[in-house]
Amino acid sequence: KAGVTQTPRYLIKTRGQQVTLSCSPISGHRSVSWYQQTPGQGLQFLFEYFSETQRNKGNFPGRFSGRQFSNSRSEMNVSTLELGDSALYLCASSPGGGSGGGNEQFFGPGTRLTVL
Amino acid sequence: GNSVTQMEGPVTLSEEAFLTINCTYTATGYPSLFWYVQYPGEGLQLLLKATKADDKGSNKGFEATYRKETTSFHLEKGSVQVSDSAVYFCALSDRGGGGADGLTFGKGTHLIIQP
């Protein structure tokens, strides 16, 4: 099985712009989660989508949004970019479903976003 | 809310030394516990997991035991290698949180193994 893929791998934007990141989960996985990784804050949970519905959300401003398509692929959008949004954005997929909790999450390589 | 606390390091050891990375957690429900590893320039890989109290997760010589009484999940390895140099993250997933799969991570421990 192919792993989790994320595009693009690297992105440079300027303040005020918006950006869309894409994630393709492992085939058959229905849950996709997004995380932000920065040196100062570490890994922080953004949101999780399951069957095209946002099922869980972290503590991030409304500038961060996402969606999931019927094929389980997911996109994350950040509007009005700020310097502090520079980070590695990681996507993870899992089978999802009712078991929750113990499902292993498989991570993609991440998208490195730099905001100038 | 949920939280994970782990030593941040860097932790520097000589090859073949014994490794312990401490991890403690706070959770409102019945969490599953995980150790992830991140090599330079890569995403996270699951190293091991435990889904209930007293479970022991193990993989590649690493092991960790889910201790509910001390709310801990310390990572150990008997003899480390240079190739174990990486950042290690302790994480939990709280089933009590409605079945969602969002993980709460510790800050990560940078491990450096010297030959």
Q: What spatial distance separates the first Cα and last Cα of chain A, rounded to whole Å? A: 37
pLDDT given for residue B23 in this prediction: 97
Whether residue A99 is predicted with pLDDT greater than 70 in this model: the reply is: no
pLDDT number for residue B1? 80
Query: Who wins on pLDDT, A39 or B18?
Result: B18
Is the CB of B101 less than 8 angstroms away from the CB of A107?
A: no
For A13-32, what is the mean pLDDT? Answer: 96
Any chain A CB within 8 A of the CB of B49? Answer: yes
pLDDT of residue B30: 79
- The minimum CA-CA distance between B104 and chain A, rounded to whole Å, is 7
B49 to B65, B92, B102: CA distances (angstroms): 9, 9, 15
Closest CA to A2 of A32, A30, A27, A34: A27
Least confident of A36-45, B39-48, B99-108: B99-108
Q: Is the pLDDT of residue B108 over 90?
A: yes
